Amino acid sequence: MNPGLVLALVLAVCLEATEAVAAAVLEPQAAPSPSLSPKEVVRIQVEALRKNDATDAGIALVFRFASPQNRRTTGPISRFAQMIRTSPYDAMLNHREATLGPTILGESRMRQEVTITAKDGSNTRFVWLVSRQEDGPDAGCWMTDAVFTVDSDPEGTPVWTLHPVT
């Protein structure tokens, strides 16, 4: 097969997937769906936080993709928005760039590392923990259970940091 044709086909598939994720982010009614992969769920949330506006539409979209347990822990939405506006999560709001790093994918759970370059140019590493919901109205949907920052100890070993919800 022609290598140029293969490259064109790969790019077309990637562009179509990217456009689908972008459309979901731009659509204020975007919601969890069994048709979304766990990586797409993370991308949608990261992009929503990058495009958050004065009405906090991005934060609301992220909360919509929070798992039921996560919503019980961090909600209601006003409390969740307050949490996102405080360190370290505020680095995600209207950030410059996000780089999706390594993932660990199981049958019903995924861990996705994301490095955020904030408005001020600083970098923060986060880990998204997502799971496929087993029952209820979101059965079959991938949703976020938690987001942690990742630091390194003196030997360079990653250390996850849980930030309390207040």
Question: Structural domains in the chain?
Answer: 3-161 (3.10.450.50)
- β-pair partners for 41: none
Which residues have C-beta within 8 Å of that of residue 128, sequence separation ≥ 6?
A: 42, 45, 110, 111, 112, 114, 144, 146, 147
Query: Which residue blocks in 51-138 are alpha helix, DSSP H?
Result: 57-64, 68-74, 77-84
Instruction: Give which of 36, 28, 27 is closest to 130, Cα–Cα.
Output: 36
Instruction: Give which of 70, 66, 60 is closest to 27, Cα–Cα.
Output: 60
Q: Produce one character per residue of 70-106: b if its CB has 16 or more CB atoms within 10 Å, e if not.
A: bbeebeebeebbebbeeebbbbbbebeebeeeeeeee
Q: What is the chain's pLDDT, residue by residue, as a tens digit (166 residues)? A: 554 444 333 334 443 444 444 444 445 568 999 999 999 999 999 999 999 999 999 999 999 999 999 999 999 999 999 999 999 999 999 999 999 999 999 999 999 999 999 999 999 999 999 999 999 999 999 999 999 998 765 555 555 555 444 3
- Note the pTM of the prediction, 2 decimals: 0.78
